Structures are given as C-alpha cells and as structure tokens.
Amino acid sequence: MELHARGLAAGLCLGAALLGQAYAADKPPVKIGILTDMSGTYAGMGGPGSVAAAQLAIDDCLAAECKGMKIELVSADNQNKADVGAAKAREWFDRDGVTAIADLTNSAVALAVQGIAREKNKVVMFSGPATTALTNKECSPVGFHWMFDTYSQSAGGAKATVRAGGKSWYFITVDYAFGHSLEADTAKAVKALGGTVAGSVRHPLNAPDFASYLLQAQSSKAQVVALANGGQDTVNAVKQAREFGIVAGGQRLVSLLIFLSDLRALGLESAQGLSYVDGFYWDYDDATRQWSTRFEKAFRGLKPTMTQAGVYSSVLHYLRSVAASGSTDGKVVADKMRELPIKDPIMRNASIRPDGRVIHDMYLYEVKKPSESKGGWDYSKLVATIPAAEAFQPLADSACPLVQK
C-alpha cells in the first residue's frame, strides 16, 4: 500500500512536471533590453529605475500568463547618443538574441533604433522619448510609442495656460529633435487658441548655465516663458528662473515636460505653482499607490516617474502578447499587442492605434505650495483629466504610412 502511494505520488509529480514543460514549450524564450540613459540628464526619469520597472513586469507575468517561460533582462546606457544607441541595438538583435527593446529616453536615439528594429523585425517600445515623428513619417509596424509625446505635453498645458491669460509665449528649447518637436507642437497649439509666439532660443543638451537664455526671455516681455526641455536641463532652468525673478517679475513659467524625479530635485519651494502634463502620478488612485509602493521597495525607496511606469506597462503587455501568440516574431507579436486590451495599474482607457501610438488619459497637474504638501512625495494636485481621444494627435492628422486615410 505504501509503495503504491509512493508510486502514485511520484507519478503525479512527474505528470505535473511534464505538463509544466509542455506548457512552457509553446512559449518561446524572451530577452528584453532596456536601452536608457544610465547616468546623464535623463537618468532620473528613466535609467536604472526603468530596469527595475521592467523586472517588476517580468515578475508579474511569470506569476500569470508567462508561467514557465524563460525571460531574460539586459540593460545598457545609450549615453544620449544616436550612434551609441544604434550600435547597441544592432549588437543585441544580431548577436545577443534580444527580442524587444524598451524605454530609449532620448528622441534621437529612439529614431535611430526605430529604423533598426523595423529592419530586423523586432518590437521596440518607447516610454522615454517624446518626438511625435515616431508615429508619423518614421512609424513602424513593430514600433509602439507608449507613454507621452510632444503633442500630449503641449495640448493640455497650452490650453490651460492660454485660457488662464497666458497669450504670448517665449520658448527656451533644448537643441535636438525632442526640443524642436516640443516647441513646434506647443507653438501650433498656442496659435490655434489665439495666442502668439514672441520668440525662442535654443540651448545645448546638459546646459549648466541658463543666464543668457533667461535674460532673452525676460527682455521679450512674453507673458509665458515655456521650457521645452527635460531632465536636469529643466531642473537647472527652473532654479535659475527663480533666481532671475522670472515669476516675481510677472511672467508665467511653464515646464512642458517635467518628471517626479525633477520635482524631487527642485523641491516645492522652487517648483511650486508649476503646471505640467503627466501620464502617470503615483498618488492618482489606489491602484497607482499600490504599484508605486512595490516600485519604491524595489528601487532605492523612490517613487516611479511616468517613464518608468510606462516601461512596466509596455514590457508587461509585450510579454502577455508573446505568451498569447506563442511567438517572438516581431510582426506576429505586434499584431497581438494591438489585439489584446491593455490592462495594468498604470494607464486608464488605453488602446493602440494603427500608427503605433498608445493613447490613454493624460492629466494636468499643478505643483503644490510647501504649505499644501502632506510630506514625503506629496508634490502635485490634479487640475484636470485630458481624455485619451483628446490627449494625442488625431489619427486623421498622422503622416504614418501605415494609416489608411
């Protein structure tokens, strides 16, 4: 009787093992690369935090749809250089067996990698870069722009500011694809709302001194000084704008792209009153708070930025699509990604359009005064929700060849 029981138990264990092997056999191995800025101006909003977010997505999928799958995660520093990012992407695709790349953080890098991923039939997901070119003329059947872009950042912010009386604008813009696109989209929105553009000045990436740019903005007498930059450049510009008395002198300071990591670096004393558009804020609802607490425990006690949250969302959806399709072929997985609903703690009312743009609700926030904050990470208050259908460039206006007019 005892031998029979042991034999039955062994048989059950063997059967379960074989079933698990069979379950995993129809789901191919996956290797995800996080190509991001690890130490430069955008490291705080992406960087190692994006790697941590991707690992959370892997853990969550392995506990559910991806159970039994072999999933590997690698990462590299793109150094905010298109040639460096492109070389790493080719190496990963050609030699290392990477099946998808996520994050990217820099628009120039993203555009370079988009072309390579299209050529190699590999999925690439952009949560860090902002240029709308990724879903316009440079769109790809295997490329997905996940969290925000220059249109989403300009539409809500411009509308709210112009309605509040900010009719004339002056731009301080970082001099590469991201800054150019952010300025152009915002200027277009301002003019459409009846406002005017008094002028603009461009600065190099990683500019430590904004004195000359701020003086030009002051002398323009524009009602709004708009910062079309990001990361440490935004932090430096905001701090120095306070020192130059931009706001005290009656001009309105608007950051067109700012992250939670930037607000933390600035502090409420310097950042108070700034309005900005965001795709994810840790304190939005119970689901975002719970996920953000997980992220905080996994990554240096820090709350996630919208880029890092976007990495989690995109990697999780990619993995679910690989599991559902049983393939890592770029086109096959991309088709499945468009077919499956996006369900996670990160985004609301999300869907994927033919041009690869992931649309979802965006939010207009205002940075709190120090007296309004309850402490810790309590930086911002919600002003308005921008519905998914309004937050991004209309599909009818897309220049993407994949879109049938």
Burial of 253 (0-12, 13-18, 19+ CB in 10 A): buried
- Where is average pLDDT lowest: 71-85, 162-176, 325-339? 162-176
Q: Residue 132's pLDDT is what? A: 92
Q: Residue 191's pLDDT is what? A: 96
Q: In what order do the strands lie in the sheet with 362-367?
A: 275-278, 362-367, 380-386
Q: Would you say residue 70 has pLDDT above 90?
A: yes
> C-alpha angle with apex 148: 143 to 150, nearest 5 degrees?
100
Can you read off the two tokens belonging to residue 203?
């600065």
Q: Would you say residue 19 has pLDDT above 90?
A: no
Q: Are 92 and 74 in contact (CB under 8 A)?
A: yes
Last-in-domain residue among 321, 340, 360: 360
> pLDDT (tens digit, 9 = 90+) per residue, 357-399?
999 999 989 899 999 999 899 999 998 888 999 899 999 999 9
Is 405 inside any structural domain? no
For the chain, the domain total comes to 2
237 and 376, same structural domain?
yes
Closest CA to 224 of 136, 154, 302: 154
By DSSP bridging, strand 224-228 and strand 252-255 are parallel
Which residues, other chains included, contact 141 with Cβ-Cβ below 8 Å and sequence gap of 6+? 118, 330, 331, 334, 356, 402
> pLDDT (tens digit, 9 = 90+) per residue, 32-69?
999 999 999 899 999 999 999 999 999 999 999 999 99
Q: Would you say residue 288 has pLDDT above 60?
A: yes
124 and 44, same structural domain?
yes
379 and 243, same structural domain?
yes
- Give this prediction's pTM: 0.88
Q: For residue 299, name the pLDDT band (cuts at 50, 70, 90).
A: very high
Q: For residue 326, name the pLDDT band (cuts at 50, 70, 90).
A: very high
Q: Residue 405's pLDDT is what? A: 55
Q: Residue 286's pLDDT is what? A: 98
Q: For residue 73, name the pLDDT band (cuts at 50, 70, 90).
A: very high
235 and 155, same structural domain?
yes
Q: Would you say residue 23 has pLDDT above 50?
A: no
Q: Residue 58's pLDDT is what? A: 98
Is 6 inside any structural domain? no
Is 131 inside any structural domain? yes
Task: State which residues form the domain around 238.
Answer: 151-278+362-391
Residues forming a β-bridge with 101: 33, 124
Q: Are 227 and 256 in contact (CB under 8 A)?
A: yes
228 and 166, same structural domain?
yes
- For 36, the 3-state DSSP assignment is strand
Q: Which helix (H) or strand (E) holds 284?
A: none
240 and 129, same structural domain?
no
386 and 268, same structural domain?
yes
CA dihedral sign, ordered 337, 338, 344, 346: positive
348 and 214, same structural domain?
no
Q: Would you say residue 11 has pLDDT above 70?
A: no
203 and 290, same structural domain?
no
183 and 130, same structural domain?
no
Q: Are 23 and 91 in contact (CB under 8 A)?
A: no
Mean pLDDT over 127-142 rounds to 95
Is 7 inside any structural domain? no
Is 19 inside any structural domain? no
Dihedral through CA 74, CA 290, CA 154, CA 78, nearest 10? Answer: -10
Dihedral through CA 301, CA 305, CA 311, CA 317, nearest 10? Answer: 100
> pLDDT (tens digit, 9 = 90+) per residue, 230-282?
989 999 999 999 899 998 899 999 999 999 999 999 999 999 988 889 999 99
Q: For residues 187 and 181, give the distance between their C-alpha atoms in angstroms, rounded to a whole number.
A: 10
> pLDDT (tens digit, 9 = 90+) per residue, 136-194?
999 999 999 999 998 998 877 788 788 888 999 999 999 988 899 899 999 999 999 99
Q: Would you say residue 17 has pLDDT above 50?
A: no
Higher pLDDT, 4 or 348: 348
Which CATH number is 108's domain given? Answer: 3.40.50.2300
Q: Would you say residue 195 has pLDDT above 70?
A: yes
Q: Residue 122's pLDDT is what? A: 98
Is 343 inside any structural domain? yes
Q: For residues 41 and 182, give the distance between their C-alpha atoms in angstroms, rounded to a whole number.
A: 17
Can you read off the two tokens belonging to residue 234?
């935004």
Is 20 inside any structural domain? no
Higher pLDDT, 200 or 150: 200
Q: Would you say residue 5 has pLDDT above 80?
A: no
309 and 224, same structural domain?
no
Q: Would you say residue 20 has pLDDT above 50?
A: no
369 and 306, same structural domain?
no
Is 21 inside any structural domain? no
